[in-house]
Amino acid sequence: MKLSCQEGMVPGRSLEEKLARLEQYGYEGIEFGGSGLAQRSREITRLTAKGKVKPSSICAGYRGCLLSPEPQDRSLAVSDIKELLRVSADIGAVGLIVVPIFGKPQLPDLSPYRDAIESERELLLQLLEELSLHAEKVGSVILLEPLNRYETHFIKRLEQAVEIVRKINSSGLKIMADFFHMSIEEANIPQAIGEAGELIWHVHLADSNRLLPGWGHTDFKAGLQALREAGFDKYMALECGIPGDPEVDLPKTLEYLRGWR
């Protein structure tokens, strides 16, 4: 397992400075936000080619919504996701994190024929078939992320993401497991990780209070042990608040996690 950190969490006035600091701390990856990333891909490739810190992943950054009732919003999301998957392949990242929808359902409830969530599931499956084929074609992966009940009504636990991923059955679609969301939604985090197993392709690290690991009550020792037993060997990226000085807390967090990974 390799440790990564989101770009916005790292001190520095430029990407070059941020990469240098992450390498100094001992991190192996950096996660980018997707907004405007296509225009930065050459710079990212140039700067990461000469150092030890590599692009781990792209976190969302696409417009529109896959499960919007408006065709133009769905088309915009599909178009942007396809572009970011290409960028992900270009810069050498594992893949693009995708959340199907935030908040409440936007599709109408057509009960007794079909409720909104049933419609969302069928629509998502159709869109993911197309997007997964595109991911395969460009050499990237969609990282489907379950959120928690306060951020979405749809796909909140790893088992729900597993069902979707197995239904599509594509090398271009895998799961992103986030310890913060799991601390809210999973009854047993190690068990949930074990059951998702080889489908987990990326991990977000944040404690129960969404601060750096070690600042809350999440049992990272058990969770990381479950990842090891599942054969996970990819990136885990910090996505959380930093309570103190990043220059102090980011190296400390790396040492804390090294004790368990």
97 class by beta-carbon count within 10 Å (0-12 exposed, 13-18 middle, 19+ buried): buried
User: For 85-125, what is each residue's pLDDT tens digit?
Assistant: 999 999 999 999 999 999 999 999 999 999 999 999 999 99
Instruction: Read off the tokens for 258.
Output: 């090294």
Whole-number pLDDT of residue 137: 98
Whole-number pLDDT of residue 259: 78
Whole-number pLDDT of residue 179: 98
**pLDDT tier at 241 (50, 70, 90 boundaries)?**
very high
Q: Alpha-carbon distance 143 to 201, whole Å? A: 7
Whole-number pLDDT of residue 25: 97
At what angle are helices 189-196 and 220-229 packed, to 10 degrees?
A: 20
Percent of the chain with pLDDT over 90: 98
Check pLDDT > 90 for residue 261. no
For residues 252 and 259, is the Cβ–Cβ distance under 8 A? no
pTM above 0.95, yes or no: yes
User: For 56-90, what is each residue's pLDDT tens digit?
Assistant: 999 999 999 999 999 999 999 999 999 999 999 99
Strand 29-33 versus strand 2-6 pairing type: parallel
Q: Alpha-carbon distance 56 to 197, whole Å? A: 20
Domain interval for residue 10: 2-258
Q: How many CA atoms lie within 13 A of 223 on its CB side?
A: 24
User: For 162-212, what is each residue's pLDDT tens digit?
Assistant: 999 999 999 999 999 999 999 999 999 999 999 999 999 999 999 999 999
Instruction: Read off the tokens for 244.
Output: 């103190």
For residues 165 and 145, is the Cβ–Cβ distance under 8 A? no
Q: Alpha-carbon distance 258 to 254, whole Å? A: 6
Task: For residue 54, list its beta bridge partners.
Answer: 29
For residues 180 and 147, is the Cβ–Cβ distance under 8 A? no
Contacts for 145 with CB less than 8 Å, ≥ 6 apart: 97, 98, 99, 155, 161, 175, 176, 178, 181, 204
Number of domains in the chain: 1
Contacts for 88 with CB less than 8 Å, ≥ 6 apart: 55, 57, 58, 94, 95, 96, 138, 140, 141
Check pLDDT > 70 for residue 228. yes
Looking up residue 91, the CATH number of its domain turns out to be 3.20.20.150
Q: Catalytic residue numbers?
A: 145, 239
Contacts for 25 with CB less than 8 Å, ≥ 6 apart: 250, 251, 254
* Mean pLDDT over the full length of the chain: 97
Instruction: Read off the tokens for 35.
Output: 């907004």
Rg (CA), the chain: 18
